[in-house]
């Protein structure tokens, strides 16, 4: 029965949250599903926000190389009030309320015009309200988590709280399923401390129970303890399908060709594992002048070679850098190519989940500097739970008045680049496990096969 079901022409509909990080993971997941079962086609319903940075060349390259993946732009609706931007869960919740009628009509059109059976509706965690649409059409729904099992554990922990039980400063340490250690409240997502943000998270957490399974961009060798702990909590099936990474270098536009070339040319001239890469994500985080000055001073005093993605370095820094010949500044950085380069020996990162998986894949140790979203929780796990990163901060937040001083940065950089650091050795070991997970017979390979099988059979 399984073989006959797998041979049917079938379709999966994906709805990612806005943002290139979410879209990239979703497209990689779509490619993986097709690779697992060539009789599948994937339709991605894309929420395109006016101010969301998206690479059209990246999307076109994926669609041109994958004829079984279709992308439908959902209509732009009235944007929620700007004040909700301070709490992304609230903003996207409001946006999804406005979009739901369009999502419903689009799915209805797909069902009536496509001959393939729609076997699953795969939803980003912030799009879980669309479960109601799936139920109305009789389509099984799955949660697709672009983050990790730790964030899932945090969300599931909310199911045991009350809707008015907002986190506050008195919650010093918390027991969260999937964590070996008690979790300091200082590393929870910002939105968990506001009434509206907490309620949005709480309501989303409740909807997890309405799905048939949870797909996570991780691999079991990395999160074995967390997966086993949550499985004991009698959650829905967890499918660890990662690392889901776009490792193919996208062609640069004319605007980016020159800096792109100069960066790689400079790296080619540096000794192996001698350069620290400083980059704080696709959202273009901007530090204040005083923090930029401290980073520059920390780099100077550390003596390390560096590649720093920053728009406005402090006055006089470029002149010093050119005189010393140890560093390079760039506004934009081809992150995957840089992390893959033999000259890179360390990565000062905002601890976004995609960035961490990329650093693991290439065996580059991370110095933690989280900024927003669940990055503090990621940093805590990377340092305290796994020992796979060097701690600079685990609880720094965007908009914080706390300035990380040059002495602290210098110390962190030196520790990061110490080849005898135990973190470096652990990262190399996990690099091999990450790569083994996705090949034939690996843990993620098997998990994706099971997921596709469950989707095909569960839709009947």
pLDDT tens track, the chain, 460 positions: 344 455 678 999 999 998 777 888 999 999 999 999 999 999 999 987 766 655 566 777 777 888 899 999 999 888 888 777 778 888 888 899 899 999 999 999 999 988 889 999 999 999 999 999 999 999 999 999 999 999 999 999 999 999 999 998 777 899 999 999 999 999 999 889 989 999 999 999 999 999 999 999 999 999 999 999 998 766 789 999 999 998 875 544 444 456 788 899 999 999 999 999 999 875 556 788 999 999 999 999 999 999 999 988 999 999 999 898 899 999 888 899 999 999 999 999 999 999 999 999 999 999 999 998 899 999 999 999 999 999 999 999 887 788 999 999 999 999 999 989 999 999 999 999 999 999 999 999 999 999 999 999 875 5
Q: What is the pLDDT of residue 6?
A: 58
The token pair at 80 is: 């929620």
pTM: 0.93
Count of beta carbons in the 10 Å neighbourhood of residue 108:
13
Q: Tell me if 63 sits within 8 A of 33, measured CB to CB.
A: no
Element holding 196 (H helix, E strand): helix 195-207
Q: What is the pLDDT of residue 235?
A: 73
Q: Tell me if 412 sits within 8 A of 346, measured CB to CB.
A: no
Peptide bond into 368 cis (omega under 30): no
Q: How far apart are CA 454 and CA 121, in angstroms?
A: 13
Q: Tell me if 300 sits within 8 A of 320, measured CB to CB.
A: yes
Burial readout 416-441 (b: 16 or more C-beta within 10 A, e: otherwise): bbeeebebbeebeebbeebeebbeee
* Radius of gyration in angstroms for the set of CA atoms belonging to the chain, rounded to a whole number: 22
Q: How far apart are CA 124 and CA 122, in angstroms?
A: 7
Element holding 263 (H helix, E strand): helix 254-268
Please state at what angle helix 224-232 crosses helix 149-158, rounded to 10 degrees. 30
pLDDT in tens, 14-67: 999 987 778 889 999 999 999 999 999 999 999 877 666 555 667 777 778 888
* Helix and strand totals (H; E) in the chain: 17, 15
- The dihedral built from the CA positions of residue 437, 148, 146 and 259, taken in this order, carries a sign that is negative
- The dihedral built from the CA positions of residue 231, 32, 139 and 158, taken in this order, carries a sign that is positive
Q: How far apart are CA 406 and CA 309, in angstroms?
A: 18
The token pair at 186 is: 């200082």
Per the DSSP assignment, residues forming a β-bridge with 60 are none
Q: Tell me if 190 sits within 8 A of 372, measured CB to CB.
A: yes
Q: Tell me if 204 sits within 8 A of 89, measured CB to CB.
A: yes
Q: Residue 290's Cα: distance from chain center in Å?
A: 29
250: alpha, beta or left? (left if phi > 0; alpha if psi -120 to 50): beta
**If we measure between CA atoms, which residue out of 283, 310, 279, 285 comes closest to residue 296?**
310
Tell me phi and psi for residue 73, to 5 degrees. -75, 120
Strand, helix or coil for residue 190: helix
Count of beta carbons in the 10 Å neighbourhood of residue 352:
23
Per the DSSP assignment, residues forming a β-bridge with 183 are 174
Count of beta carbons in the 10 Å neighbourhood of residue 129:
18
Q: Tell me if 96 sits within 8 A of 126, measured CB to CB.
A: yes
Q: How far apart are CA 18 and CA 21, in angstroms?
A: 8
Looking up tokens 């001959």, which residue turns up?
115
Q: What is the pLDDT of residue 254?
A: 47
Count of beta carbons in the 10 Å neighbourhood of residue 289:
10
* Residue 244 half-sphere exposure toward CB, CA atoms < 13 A: 28
The token pair at 29 is: 């997941």
């Amino acid at each position: 029965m399984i073989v006959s079901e797998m041979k049917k022409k079938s379709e999966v509909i994906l709805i990612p949250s806005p943002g290139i990080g979410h879209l990239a993971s979703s497209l990689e997941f779509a490619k993986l599903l097709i690779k697992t079962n060539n009789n599948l086609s994937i339709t991605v319903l894309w929420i395109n926000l006016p101010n969301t940075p998206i690479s059209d060349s990246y999307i076109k390259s994926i669609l041109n190389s994958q004829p079984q993946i279709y992308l439908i732009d959902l209509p732009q609706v009235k944007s929620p009030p700007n004040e909700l931007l301070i709490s992304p869960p609230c903003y996207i919740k409001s946006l999804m309320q406005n979009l739901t009628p369009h999502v419903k009509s689009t799915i209805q059109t797909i069902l009536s015009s496509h001959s393939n059976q729609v076997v699953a509706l795969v939803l980003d965690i912030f799009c879980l309200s669309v479960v109601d649409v799936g139920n109305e059409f009789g389509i099984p729904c799955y949660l697709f988590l672009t983050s990790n099992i730790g964030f899932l554990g945090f969300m599931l922990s909310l199911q045991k709280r009350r809707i008015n039980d907002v986190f506050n400063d008195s919650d010093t340490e918390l027991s969260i399923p999937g964590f070996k250690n008690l979790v300091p409240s200082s590393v929870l997502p910002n939105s968990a401390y506001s009434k509206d943000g907490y309620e949005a998270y709480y309501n989303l957490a409740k909807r997890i129970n309405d799905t048939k399974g949870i797909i996570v961009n991780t691999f079991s060798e990395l999160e074995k303890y967390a997966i086993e702990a949550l499985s004991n909590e009698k959650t829905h099936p967890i499918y660890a399908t990662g690392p889901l990474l776009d490792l193919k270098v996208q062609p640069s536009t004319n605007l980016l060709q020159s800096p792109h070339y100069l960066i790689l040319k400079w790296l080619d001239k540096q000794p192996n594992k001698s350069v620290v890469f400083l980059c704080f994500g696709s959202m273009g985080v901007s530090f204040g002048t005083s923090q930029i000055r401290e980073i520059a001073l920390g780099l100077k005093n550390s003596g390390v070679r560096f590649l720093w993605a920053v728009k406005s370095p402090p006055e006089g820094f470029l002149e010093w850098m050119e005189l010393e010949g140890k560093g390079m500044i760039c506004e934009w950085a081809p992150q995957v190519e840089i992390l893959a380069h033999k000259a890179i020996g360390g990565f000062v990162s905002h601890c976004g989940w995609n960035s961490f998986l990329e650093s693991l894949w290439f065996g580059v140790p991370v110095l933690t500097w989280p900024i927003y979203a669940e990055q503090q929780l990621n940093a805590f796990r990377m340092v305290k739970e796994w020992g796979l990163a060097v701690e600079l901060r685990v609880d720094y937040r965007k908009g914080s008045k706390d300035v990380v001083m040059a002495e602290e940065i210098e110390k962190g950089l030196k520790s990061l680049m110490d080849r005898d650091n135990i973190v470096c050795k652990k990262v190399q070991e996990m690099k091999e496990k990450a790569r083994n997970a996705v090949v034939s017979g690996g843990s993620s390979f098997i998990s994706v096969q099971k997921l596709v099988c469950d989707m095909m059979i569960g839709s009947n």
